[in-house]
Each structure stands twice: as structure tokens, then as C-alpha cells.
Amino acid sequence: MATIVPRFDFRIEYAAADDIGRSRQRHEDAYLAAPEAGLFVVADGMGGHPAGDVAARLAAEEVKRTLSDAASGNIIDRYVTRPDLSARRNVFARLKRAIERANEVVREAGHENREYRGMGTTIDVVWLARNHAFVAHAGDGRVYMARRRAMLQLTQDHGKLEMLKASGEIRPAKQSYRNALLNAVGLADSVIVDTLFVDLHRGDRLLLCTDGVHGQIRSEARLAQLVRGGTVQNAVQLTIGEAGRKGMDNATAVLVEIGDRFVKRPPVEQGLLAKDIERACQSALLYDLPPAIALAALSAGVEVEFQPGATIPRVVANDLVGYIVLDGIIDCGPRAVGQGAVLFPESLVAVWDGSELPVTREEARLLRVRADDFGEVCSDPSLGAVLYQRVASMLARAAVAARRDSNAPIAPPPASVAPRDDPDHPRFAGGEAAAGHTAAAAGQTAAVAGQAAAAEED
């Protein structure tokens, strides 16, 4: 049955399921569905720790308590009224505070009761507002978003192997290994909270799950098939059923489907902001592409923020990733890049590059795309032919530039061929003409996005 969520533009349907597992004597997971607050939570009390079930329950309840109070209501109302970057960051700050409060509550309970000492829990939170999902994460549970063309893993496990991959010390591997958990609620006096923000559209499905689900269903393609299949209730039952057949751990999942839009908004207020579409379309990946192709490529992206001095990882969620810069300056070795730059284009075709990682010079917003998700979008031949050609072109230009820097001889192109890096070529044209051309293309893309949204509402 469709449910209306306050402050959210779409009706939703949701369902949850869990399984204790064949090898476990106690169920230490917890989940919470509070559509009246636009809030969904999954927590996994850690196996081997005392009272993991207590930690999971306390953390989920404290997150709900914090995000349901008057202060949180004022913050989310401010965002709904005026969804600018300042309001968005206030929502992120409140989400972080909710999990920090959960950490304090779990730690306090451990100090007060000897039987609870050392307990801890992972936690994943989705908070819905307007046409967006705000996600907060600590531990090795996961949040996925299933779309028609892509299954996006939104969060990254806080394990030692993931840290080594993100720093570039080891390469990603498709096989996932259990490894030491470095961050979760209750483990220390402070907790690291990852936050991110995604646009939502009719038909999207959000999956919050414990590692008893993704650890048992290791094929992302298989998980996508289960999550996308049938009704929400059937999909979540099938997912837990398959995880439970192996039964090595407690398994818990909450699945939320985005239904019909019932709040009408101008196209400029739907999906990616027009200025962000414009910036993305300045990139060599999307420049001057037909709007439908640009929007399809952007559907595989997740917006992320980095603070000044942050190292940008090339591996996230056990996969190589590329980025399009929306805001900020990034230092890439001896050169700096800004809006529209593409970082790690080779990652989009799953090619490893062990070069030094870029560092943000100032606060930056980037659109992150995993190789698996890009490949899924490109499985449509009409999209793949164009997007893979763009990636090949970027890599070829990089190779030519590297040869030039090494002083290797490069033969000039025939007179009949206009080189792609020629200053007169439209892609590299400077001044107001190029800016106007890019803005026009982005405006056309935004218009198509608005038309698609309007058609969706009908």
C-alpha cells in the first residue's frame, strides 16, 4: 500500500524482513521504519561483542529520537523550503549528530552495565526530504539504490581492507573478504559518520541491509535481480530468503520503493540542479552529448563532498571509481583542475592506475561513478557506444600528453584532420562563446529532465 511521507514529494512503499541465520543463537540486528518521519534505519549488533542486540536497538531508537525532535524538524523544514547547499549541509550535520548521540548512548549503557561493556553496532540511516535521500553510515552495513539501468552501492564498508584500497595501497578485488571493522557505534568515544545525498525518481528502490545480506549474496548482479523483482514485499522476502539459505549470519533488510510524485515542482527544482548539470556537461565525458545520453550517464552518479586537504580515493565500495568535479579546486600532482574535470577516467573502464591520488585544495563537490555502475549504464548499446568512445578519447589524449611531456617525437596530424586538442576545436574553445555553448547544452539537458519528470507525473 502506498504511503505518504511528510516533506517528501513521492508516495512510497516499503517492507522489511530478517532471518536469524542457521549458525547464530541470537538475533543481534535491528531495523526501524518510521515513514511519519521519513526515516529508515538498519543496525547490526556486532557478532562476538556482548549485547550486540542491545546496542543495535539503542542506536536505532536514539537516531529516531534525535531526528524526530523539534530542532530536526526545523532543519528539514528549512531544507524543504529552500534546498540550497547551506540547508543541505545543515541536514548532514543533524544526521551526523544523531549517530554521534547514538554512540554516546551505547557507550553510556556499556559503562553503567557490566554485561553491556564492549557492545557495538553498525548503523545505516536514510532520511527522505523533497525528492532526495540523505544517507548516513557507520560500519559495514550497506545502502544500495536500484535503478532501471544501475544498482548503485552508496556506502563504503569501514573495514581495514577498504581503507587500504581507498588509499591505493592495494587493488580492488571482486571477491570480498571479511576484515577487521575499524569504525562503528559504541567502539570508541567518537564515531566517523559518512554522509551522502542522492536524487530520487519514480521506480527507484533503496535497500538498507546488514552484512548478513551482502556478505551472503556477493554478486551485485544477483542482488540487483532480487531487489528489482516483483513487489517490494516479495523482493525483500526473496532477498532475505536467499541470504538465509547460507545462514552464516543474521540477515536484515529494509526496502523502500519510490512511487508516484504527488508534489508538483518546477523542473529546475527536480533532480540535479541545473547549474550542476551545466558543470557536469562541461566535462570531456559529457560535452555536447544529446541530453538523453547525458542524463543516462548522470543517473549512475552519486554526489559526494570533500573537505579541504582530503585525499580523493580511486576505490570505493570495492570498485574503481571516476569523478566529475562540480565545485572546488583539486590538486592532481603538478596541476590543478576545477569544474568539469574528470578524475580517474581509466577507472570507468576498470583500469587500475597507481599514480598519486588527488587532494582537494578547498571544499569540493564531486559526482562519483563506480566502474560497475558505468558498465551497467553502458550495457545499453546506444549509450555504451557513445560513452565508451568518450572515455577512449580522454585516455588517448592523456597518452599523447604523457608522450609530449616525455619529449618523445610526435608526428603532426594530416592537414585534413582537426586535432581534438586544437584551440579552435569547439571542445577547447575559450571565452564567452564556449561558455555560452556549454550553458545552452546544459540548459537543453535540464529541460529534457524536466519534461521526463512531467511525463513521469502523468
351: left (phi over 0), alpha (psi -120 to 50) or beta: beta
Q: Are residues 196 and 93 in the same domain?
A: yes
Q: Are residues 56 and 182 in the same domain?
A: yes
What pairs with residue 335 in β-bridges?
332
Which residue would you say has higher pLDDT here, 208 or 412? 208
Q: Are residues 51 and 73 in the same domain?
A: yes
Q: Are residues 247 and 329 in the same domain?
A: no
Given a cut of 60, whether residue 436 has pLDDT beyond it is no
- In this prediction, residue 452 has a pLDDT band, given cuts at 50, 70 and 90, of very low
Residue 125 belongs to domain with CATH number: 3.60.40.10
CB-based contact 361:330 (threshold 8 Å): yes
Q: Are residues 233 and 287 in the same domain?
A: no
Predicted pLDDT at 277: 85
Cα→Cα distances 289→197, 294, 392, 404, 405, Å: 25, 6, 15, 29, 30
| Number of alpha helices (DSSP H) and beta strands (DSSP E) in the chain | 12, 19
Residue 342 lies in a domain: yes
Residue 106's nearest CA partner among 41, 46, 185 is 185
Predicted pLDDT at 267: 59
Cα→Cα distances 56→110, 171, 206, 212, Å: 13, 32, 20, 14
Predicted pLDDT at 248: 80
Q: Are residues 382 and 256 in the same domain?
A: no
Cα→Cα distances 237→116, 230, 231, 241, Å: 32, 11, 10, 6
Q: What is the mean pLDDT of the chain?
A: 85
Given a cut of 80, whether residue 415 has pLDDT beyond it is no
Listed residues 211, 234, 263: the one ending a domain: 263
CB-based contact 238:227 (threshold 8 Å): no
Given a cut of 80, whether residue 449 has pLDDT beyond it is no
Given a cut of 70, whether residue 447 has pLDDT beyond it is no
Q: Are residues 306 and 207 in the same domain?
A: no
CB-based contact 262:11 (threshold 8 Å): yes
In this predicted model, what pLDDT tens digit does every residue of 220-238 receive, in sequence order? Answer: 999 999 999 899 999 999 9
Residue 269 lies in a domain: no
Residue 112 lies in a domain: yes
Residue 37 lies in a domain: yes
CB-based contact 185:99 (threshold 8 Å): yes
Q: Give the alpha-carbon dihedral of 306, 309, 311, 316, to 10 degrees.
A: -20
Rounded to whole angstroms, how far apart are CA atoms 200 and 9?
Answer: 10
What pairs with residue 368 in β-bridges?
302, 323
Is this structure's pTM higher than 0.85? no
Listed residues 213, 239, 263: the one ending a domain: 263
Q: Are residues 180 and 286 in the same domain?
A: no
Predicted pLDDT at 99: 98
Residue 414 lies in a domain: yes
Q: Are residues 322 and 215 in the same domain?
A: no
Given a cut of 80, whether residue 170 has pLDDT beyond it is no
Number of domains in the chain: 2
Q: Are residues 201 and 336 in the same domain?
A: no
Place of cell 532520511: 127
Q: Residues 340, 197, 266, CA angle at the centre, nearest 5°?
A: 80
50 is in which domain, residue-wise? 3-263
Predicted pLDDT at 417: 45
Rounded to whole angstroms, how far apart are CA atoms 302 and 143?
Answer: 12
What pairs with residue 359 in β-bridges?
311, 331
Place of cell 574528470: 342
Listed residues 226, 243, 263: the one ending a domain: 263
Residue 289's nearest CA partner among 397, 420, 418, 390 is 390
Residue 218 lies in a domain: yes
257-266, 289-298, 321-330, range with greatest mean pLDDT: 321-330
Residue 342 belongs to domain with CATH number: 2.60.120.10
Given a cut of 80, whether residue 272 has pLDDT beyond it is no
Which residue would you say has higher pLDDT here, 413 or 398? 398
Q: Residue 1: which residues within 8 A CB-CB, separation 6 or more?
A: 13
Predicted pLDDT at 174: 53
Percentage of the chain modeled with pLDDT above 90 = 62
Predicted pLDDT at 445: 41
Q: Are residues 36 and 154 in the same domain?
A: yes
In this predicted model, what pLDDT tens digit does every residue of 10-57 receive, in sequence order? Answer: 999 999 999 998 877 789 999 999 999 999 999 999 855 678 999 999
CB-based contact 426:418 (threshold 8 Å): no
Given a cut of 50, whether residue 426 has pLDDT beyond it is no
Residue 268 lies in a domain: no
Rounded to whole angstroms, how far apart are CA atoms 226 and 89?
Answer: 34
Q: Are residues 60 and 116 in the same domain?
A: yes
CB-based contact 207:242 (threshold 8 Å): no
Given a cut of 60, whether residue 416 has pLDDT beyond it is no
